[in-house]
Amino acid sequence: MATTTTKLFLLPLLLCAAALSPATAADADGFTTFKVYFHDIVGGTSPTAIRIAQAPSSNSSSTFFGAVVAIDDPLTTGPTRAAGTEVGRAQGTYTFADQKTFGLLMVMNFVFTAGDHNGSSLSILGRNEVLDDIREMSIVGGSGKFRMARGYVQAHTIDSGATSGETVVQYTVNVKA
């Protein structure tokens, strides 16, 4: 049976340990993982992805090589905008950078405007070979709770947008800040 002195000694140690515990769940390597859904809307009255530049040969290229697209795409908690809550925007550009397949150079920020990460952002850079099932891109920085962040995202296309004009991509974010 513990004495009163032992209990008084252990109490401050337990309080210190509790204070040092992270507020969000992270794995053993310190990575926090969550999912968002990216909605790239190229048609309709309010597109969120617009071609801003292209090479003279972009339209005749089978891969649109040389075309540059600016994006301000909604990020939601679910695969449909109706079923999910908007938690931010994906803002930046993607460039059709491969002459043989649909290989994009993605340069974008995930800017969080609601939810657990409100007021923070992640900077993402990398190759996105859109016909692959899972694509991985680097997290190269961030702001707010993600200041000096490192990690990676994995992209998986839910809907190609072939009929709707809205491509939906699930992004699994693995970040260490």
**Domains along the chain?**
32-176 (2.40.480.10)
| Residue 29: predicted pLDDT | 80
Q: Determine contact, residues 37/76, Cβ cutoff 8 Å.
A: yes
DSSP structure class, residue 58: G
pLDDT, the chain, mean: 87
Calpha distance 37→173 (Å, rounded): 11
What local confidence, expressed as pLDDT, does residue 25 receive?
57
Strands (E), 97-165: 103-112, 121-129, 135-143, 150-159
Position of tokens 């695969």?
Answer: 79
pLDDT digits (tens, 9 = 90+) for 49-83: 999 999 999 999 999 999 999 999 999 999 998 88
When pLDDT is cut at 50, 70 and 90, the band that residue 28 belongs to is confident
